[in-house]
Amino acid sequence: MTETSEEIPSAGYVRRVYRALGERGILGRVKGILVGRPKAWEFDKQNSKDQKEEYRKQQREVILETVRKYNHALPVVQNLDFGHSDPQIPMPYGMPARIDTKNKKIYITC
């Protein structure tokens, strides 16, 4: 599971983080990635609805593009409501998860 933060990082920063995961071989070893919906505003960064949508689109694209350079078949599920999102679903870190790509479902064992 990955997510951005309340700092609202740029697409370039997110690219560098995922590139680092790829260069270290992590993206070649994991079986899937769950990505929380990026937070697109903060009190000191009041973005319009269009700005939020564009920011989230850029984040999704850069993550997928970067992951595909290191692992073309890795399931990547994005825009999930965990982490710094609102609404927010608590996710149990460290617990086994399964991505059912055929039925588009995620299972987490608690």
pLDDT, one tens digit per residue, over 50-70 is 988 998 999 999 999 999 999
* pLDDT in the model for residue 83: 66
Q: What is the pLDDT of residue 68?
A: 97
Q: Is the pLDDT of residue 34 over 70?
A: yes
Ordered by where they begin, the domains of the chain are: 11-108 (3.50.30.60)
Length of the chain: 110
Mean pLDDT taken over the chain: 86
First to last CA, the chain: 15
pTM metric for this prediction:
0.82
pLDDT digits (tens, 9 = 90+) for 61-105: 999 999 999 999 999 998 887 766 666 677 667 778 888 989 988
83 DSSP 8-state letter:
S
DSSP classification of residue 84: S
